[in-house]
């Protein structure tokens, strides 16, 4: 039993090391190794799930500096980990299979699969980690592998820049995360999740410190899960290959922030202030990203903003004391968002790298399987009743309803917008007439379904997107206790124990959720059906509220100021005073002394004699 988590963690590492060190010359071998690793991890995960729901933990000492600092490399498998393991390895396996086709022609195929394996290792490390230090190390590693994969086509300038942007933006969040870890360690003297939880009394004794530590830890999630104000990197990360967008920037890595919040919920629960901040940031992200998504034209960017919005929902759920709902939405969202991205990848692949939805049109006829699965994914995301997204979004809305109207109504509006922009995407790309540059006739090759390695993952994910919300499927994976918390609110009792109580059921909430779905879908259908170009233009949304421009101006402005100050210091203080000053002093002294060279022997003798006299005078004074 205990070797299974290690097998899950280390098989992708072995694959990554083998590919990047030895096998990168052979594309076929690299693909085989990477596939074997991910399938091994998936098989081990299934075996772990089948083995029962008890907690499995094993660790080895890494650094032992006495009781103050005892770091272990430890793995812990509990209900939360099982869910994430299945999501990561399951979707990971499907994305690997899909990538064999999508990346078939690519020059850097070996590098791609090596990086993908490295990512799997890092992500599984986050999921399996049993301490803050472990999770931080793997947190950074997913950042690196994400950097490598976004920048896979590094010869394209936009991809290289996007990779840098993602990495740097994440670093800001990670700095907060590290500060939070240090604060927690300073207060409790522990870094292991269990040890911190046992020593929570030391933290709760100081509410201000607790709130500060919680918010610092939350910074990590803001970076990794791309919440406002650090959301700017995720849309740009779409420069990476589409399978990467599906796996990393939709299903798994960006969900790591939510997972971390749920894992450390015992730390956030005692601080109402921190929870309110988290909920507010989640709600703002959900709404802003949904508004931005309504005016994007790039199929992947629409999905990226949709991901931002859904991550906002999850973070808001954490803030609304419903970590179970957040994990439930993470679980269902992973399936249908991976499906949507892989579907978008199939469209892009079929249309020879065309990403503008206005240049698609009529794809339902030429790509029927892709259309069918994409439509299922859309319905699941928009919260159509009886599909996966409906259940999980409903749970979050219920939690927000119990938190207050200020949190509920923006989220409801986001749900309407979700239905709106997804229906817009489907109507424009898949319905209507096929786009033709001249306006008439039929393009010779307007899309086709991909081969089986592409469509089978789509079909599997479509099936999962339908059933993932139902108890018969999700409950065995979540385990009875965790699944039960999906519709519960967590509170921190006076005795310092986390308690779950059923959320008060409000019949109005599901009705409003269905209403939001219907309203958004019908609105977009009526507005966009049969249109060849966008009838609505809202520059504010299309330009993402000018946030990127504001950051650019802010950073450029502050950099320029810093640069001009540095320039002044360098030019006048260092060059002027130090370098030129010393040189000038030496030169001046030399010039003055040069005047003593009279060229007259008697003059020298006189100065010499005068010197002796002065010396004698000084000595006998």
CB of 602 to other proteins, least distance (A): 5
The residue among 496 and 603 lying less far from other proteins, judged by its C-beta, is 603
Q: Are the beta carbons of 462 and 373 closer than 8 angstroms? A: yes
Specify the residue for token string 């919300």.
469
CB of 584 to other proteins, least distance (A): 19
The residue among 583 and 613 lying less far from other proteins, judged by its C-beta, is 613
The residue among 439 and 599 lying less far from other proteins, judged by its C-beta, is 599
Q: Are the beta carbons of 360 and 430 closer than 8 angstroms? A: yes
The residue among 595 and 618 lying less far from other proteins, judged by its C-beta, is 595
CB of 595 to other proteins, least distance (A): 7
Compute the radius of gyration of the chain from its Cα atoms.
Answer: 30
Q: Distance (Å, rounded) from C-alpha 103 to C-alpha 501? A: 48
CB of 606 to other proteins, least distance (A): 6
Token digits for 84? 């994430």
- Element (DSSP H or E) covering residue 72: strand 69-77
CB of 600 to other proteins, least distance (A): 7
Provide the 3-class DSSP secondary structure of residue 54: coil
CB of 565 to other proteins, least distance (A): 43
Taking Cα atoms as reference points, which of 73, 273, 54, 315 lies closest to residue 191? 73
Q: Are the beta carbons of 299 and 528 closer than 8 angstroms? A: no
CB of 597 to other proteins, least distance (A): 5
The residue among 496 and 609 lying less far from other proteins, judged by its C-beta, is 609
The residue among 496 and 588 lying less far from other proteins, judged by its C-beta, is 588
CB of 609 to other proteins, least distance (A): 6
Beta strand pairing call for 69-77 and 56-65: antiparallel
Chain residues that interact with other proteins, rule: CB under 8 A: 594-595, 597-602, 605-606, 609
The residue among 574 and 598 lying less far from other proteins, judged by its C-beta, is 598
Dump the DSSP string for 215-268: HHHHHHHHHHTT-TTSTTHHHHGGGS-HHHHHIIIIISGGGHHHHHHHHTHHHH
CB contact burial 97-108 (16+ within 10 A = b; e otherwise) = bbbbbbbeebeb
Provide the 3-class DSSP secondary structure of residue 507: coil
Token digits for 554? 């802010």
Paired with 298 in beta bridges are: 356
CB of 589 to other proteins, least distance (A): 14
CB of 598 to other proteins, least distance (A): 6
Token digits for 603? 């003059």
The residue among 508 and 607 lying less far from other proteins, judged by its C-beta, is 607
Q: What is the end-to-end Cα distance of the chain in Å, rounded? A: 96
The residue among 438 and 602 lying less far from other proteins, judged by its C-beta, is 602
- Element (DSSP H or E) covering residue 69: strand 69-77
The residue among 21 and 619 lying less far from other proteins, judged by its C-beta, is 619
Provide the 3-class DSSP secondary structure of residue 569: helix
Instruction: Output the CA–CA distances (angstroms, integers) from residue 562 to 549, 566, 572, in the order listed.
Output: 19, 6, 15
The residue among 52 and 590 lying less far from other proteins, judged by its C-beta, is 590
Q: Are the beta carbons of 306 and 393 closer than 8 angstroms? A: no
CB of 587 to other proteins, least distance (A): 14
Instruction: Output the CA–CA distances (angstroms, integers) from residue 55 to 210, 254, 474, in the order listed.
Output: 28, 25, 19
CB of 566 to other proteins, least distance (A): 41
Instruction: Output the CA–CA distances (angstroms, integers) from residue 536 to 124, 243, 356, 539, in the order listed.
Output: 43, 31, 16, 10
Q: Are the beta carbons of 336 and 461 closer than 8 angstroms? A: yes
The residue among 155 and 602 lying less far from other proteins, judged by its C-beta, is 602
């Amino acid at each position: 039993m205990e070797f299974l988590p290690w097998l899950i963690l280390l098989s992708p590492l072995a694959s990554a090391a083998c590919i990047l060190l030895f096998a990168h010359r052979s594309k076929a071998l690299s693909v085989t190794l990477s596939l074997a690793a991910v399938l091994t991890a998936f098989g081990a995960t299934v075996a772990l799930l089948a083995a029962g729901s008890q907690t499995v933990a094993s660790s080895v000492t890494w650094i032992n500096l006495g009781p103050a600092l005892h770091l272990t490399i430890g793995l812990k498998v509990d209900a939360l980990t099982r869910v994430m393991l299945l999501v990561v390895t399951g979707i990971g396996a499907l994305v690997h299979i899909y990538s064999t086709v999508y990346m078939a022609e690519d020059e850097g195929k070996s590098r791609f699969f090596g990086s993908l394996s490295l990512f799997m290792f890092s992500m599984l490390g986050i999921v399996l980690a049993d301490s803050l230090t472990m999770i931080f190390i793997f947190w950074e590693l997913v950042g690196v592998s994400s950097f490598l994969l976004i920048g896979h086509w590094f010869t394209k300038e936009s991809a290289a820049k996007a990779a840098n942007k993602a990495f740097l933006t994440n670093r800001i969040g990670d700095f907060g995360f590290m500060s939070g870890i240090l604060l927690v360690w300073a207060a409790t003297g522990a870094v292991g999740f269990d040890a911190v939880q046992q020593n929570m009394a030391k933290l709760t004794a100081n509410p201000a410190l607790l709130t500060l530590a919680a918010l610092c830890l939350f910074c990590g999630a803001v970076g990794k899960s791309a919440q406002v104000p650090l959301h700017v990197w995720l849309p740009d990360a779409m420069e990476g290959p589409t399978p990467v967008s599906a796996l990393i920037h939709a299903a798994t890595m960006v969900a790591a922030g939510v997972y971390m919040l749920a894992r450390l919920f015992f730390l956030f629960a005692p601080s109402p202030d921190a929870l309110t901040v988290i909920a507010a940031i989640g709600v703002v992200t959900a709404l802003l990203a949904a508004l931005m998504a309504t005016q994007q034209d790039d199929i992947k960017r629409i999905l990226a903003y949709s991901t931002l919005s859904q991550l906002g929902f999850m973070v808001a759920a954490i803030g609304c004391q419903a970590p179970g709902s957040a994990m439930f939405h993470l679980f269902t969202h992973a399936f249908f968002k991976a499906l949507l991205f892989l579907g978008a990848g199939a469209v892009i692949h079929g249309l020879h790298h065309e990403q503008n939805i206005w240049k698609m049109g009529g794809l339902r006829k030429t790509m029927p399987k892709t259309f069918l699965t994409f439509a299922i994914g859309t319905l699941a995301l928009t919260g159509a009743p009886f599909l996966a997204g409906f259940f999980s979004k409903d749970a979050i809305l219920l939690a927000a309803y119990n938190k207050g109207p200020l949190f509920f109504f923006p989220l409801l509006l986001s749900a309407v917008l979700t239905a709106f922009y997804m229906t817009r995407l489907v109507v424009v790309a898949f319905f209507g007439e096929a786009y033709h540059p001249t306006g008439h006739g039929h393009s010779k090759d307007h899309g086709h379904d991909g081969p089986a390695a592409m469509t089978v993952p789509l079909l599997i994910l479509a099936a999962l997107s339908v059933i993932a919300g139902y108890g018969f499927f999700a409950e065995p994976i979540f385990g009875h206790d965790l699944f039960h918390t999906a519709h519960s609110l967590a509170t921190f009792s006076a005795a310092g124990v986390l308690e779950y109580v059923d959320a008060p059921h409000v019949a109005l909430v599901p009705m409003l959720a269905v209403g939001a779905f219907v309203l958004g879908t019908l609105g977009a259908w009526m507005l966009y059906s049969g249109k060849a170009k966008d009838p609505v233009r809202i520059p504010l949304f299309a330009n993402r509220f000018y946030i990127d421009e504001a950051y650019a101006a802010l950073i450029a402005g502050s950099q320029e100021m810093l640069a001009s100050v540095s320039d002044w210091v360098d030019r006048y203080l260092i060059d002027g005073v130090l370098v030129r000053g010393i040189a000038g002093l030496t030169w001046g002294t030399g010039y003055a002394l040069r005047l003593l060279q009279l060229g007259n022997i008697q003059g020298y003798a006189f100065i010499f004699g005068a010197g002796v006299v002065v010396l004698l005078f000084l000595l006998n004074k």
